Amino acid sequence: MRPVHLLITAFLLLQCSQTNAQSNSPVVVVVADASAVTSLSLQQVQDIFLGYSQFFPDGSPVIAVDQPENSESYIEFYASALDMTPAQVRSHWARMTFTGRARPLRSVTNDAALIELLQQDVRIIGYLARRAVNQHIKVVFEP
């Protein structure tokens, strides 16, 4: 094979692997398996996790739960779903709290703690590493 063909082949393989990585986000938004919610749009996820909405689309109450700010899931979720850095998220919640519009989200310590909460309350929504998804929770959004 000529060097040009090798370069083209390498480029195409790289593009394919990047496309696969983008379509398989490492984090997903989840609810309890018993929840009536089956899917959410990007706008609905943004509204819930930024404190603009306290209800699922069907009108039932929602309680959004965050991961620790320094966790990979937190950084990935806010970057991919909300296009925000941790500093921007902190700033957003400072404004929301100061104006009295909303209080910061409750936080869990890890994926296992979120799964435990989800099993106790169908109002809970959170995000976690795709690899942590099990039969007790369902994915409602993938960034």
Residue 125, phi then psi, degrees to nearest 5: -135, 145
Q: Which of helix, strand or coil describes residue 39?
A: coil
- The secondary structure of the chain in percent helix, strand, coil, rounded to multiples of 5, reads 45, 15, 35
pTM: 0.81
Examine the pLDDT at 5 and tell me if it is beyond 90. Answer: no
Model pLDDT for residues 13-40, shown as the tens digit of each residue: 444 444 333 446 799 999 999 999 999 9
Tell me what pLDDT residue 24 has.
61
Model pLDDT for residues 31-90, shown as the tens digit of each residue: 999 999 999 999 999 999 999 999 999 999 999 999 999 999 999 999 999 999 999 999
Tell me what pLDDT residue 1 has.
52
